[in-house]
Amino acid sequence: MSDPLLGYLLSSGALLLFTASILLTKAASSRLDLGLGFLVATSTNVAFSALAFGVQMQLRGDGLQWNLPAFFMFAAAGGFSTYLGRWFFYESVVRFGPAKASIFQISSPLFTAMMAWLLLGERLTPVVALGMVLTIAGLILVSSKPDIFSRRGPVAAMAPDGEPAPAVANAEKSPAMQRLMQSVLLLGMGSSLAYAIGNVLRGSAVRSWNEPILGALIGAACGLALQVAFSAGKRGLLARARAASRSGMAMFAAIGVTTISAQMCAIGAMRYIPLSIATLVTLCTPILVFPLSHLLFKDQDKITAITLAGSGLTLLGIFIIVMR
């Protein structure tokens, strides 16, 4: 199997797993508070990736060769993506709505491509660049549709990596901070850049240290540590967990399994295909989530001609990239 084909298969697997996590969250969001659900999912990220890494170490014959710079890049990627990117994304959704926030997120592959070109020397051919532009344009059309979680309000929005966004502290902010938080450009671009930086760090790390499972574990552990350190309501967390729905907790644990598995696939794909393309494929969840949500949950929102046109444009762009 050629390296590009393996990369596309891994990124497609990540796309399917992220789609499954979003649909699971749709079902679980009515059973458990999303702030607690995020912690359950992120804790499961760490536990499941540790289990997967343990199994990997048992199955392979050679020992682990440590690469300290790559280790720190994976850890920093977890800080940027798992915590900071979701925090910016959540704030932008709460303040400006899911439509504006999602459009900024779709720009993340462009920032990834730019940084990969400047820092890693990656170059895209004009044909691939055209495919990326068509795909992003299609995703913008699809994402202009009302958010599938709109009936539960913006707090039910999903981060681009398929997990519920973390709860944000309700503490009073300084006037300067309030002005910053009122800027859709700052929040939207901040989230997109944070995810792009995380992608570049992961891609660079996995190319020098081929350990996607361990890399996902390191990033998840770093993201969880930051979330626990800076999240609000830590004192009442155990009480909330005891009173929470067991089925809701189990569903968010399943979300944690699907999202960390998707991250492993996405990190693995970054070793074999350009970072921007791997990121772009995993961001195509709307073209699967909208029709599946309509079929599974009987959503009231209709699949319009614009949605179909956007899906077609996205698929055309992906086809051009794959068949270049």
Q: What is the mean pLDDT of residues 160-182?
A: 54
Check: CB of residue 198 under 8 Å from CB of residue 111.
no
Band of residue 194 on the pLDDT scale cut at 50, 70, 90:
confident
Asked if pLDDT for residue 157 goes beyond 70, the answer is: no
Asked if pLDDT for residue 103 goes beyond 50, the answer is: yes
Exposure string of 237-267, with b = 16+ CB inside 10 Å and e = fewer, is: eeeeeeebeeebbebbbbbbbbbbbbbbbbb
CA distance 317 to 158: 24
Segment 106-151, tens digit of pLDDT: 777 888 888 888 888 888 788 888 888 888 888 777 766 544 444 4
Tally of CB atoms within 10 A around 148: 24
Check: CB of residue 86 under 8 Å from CB of residue 159.
yes
pTM more than 0.85: no
Which residue is listed with tokens 């309509």? Answer: 294
Q: How far is CA 23 from CA 67, 83, 89, 160, 163, in A?
A: 37, 22, 19, 13, 10
* Cβ partners under 8 Å of residue 90, min gap 6: 157, 159, 165, 166, 167, 168
Q: What is the mean pLDDT of residues 75-92?
A: 82
CA distance 174 to 280: 37
**pLDDT for the residue 126:** 86
**Strand ranges in the chain using DSSP code E only, listed in sequence order:** none
Instruction: Give the CA angle between residues 295, 109, 5 to the nearest 5°.
Output: 75
- Residue 254's φ and ψ, nearest 5 degrees, are -65, -35
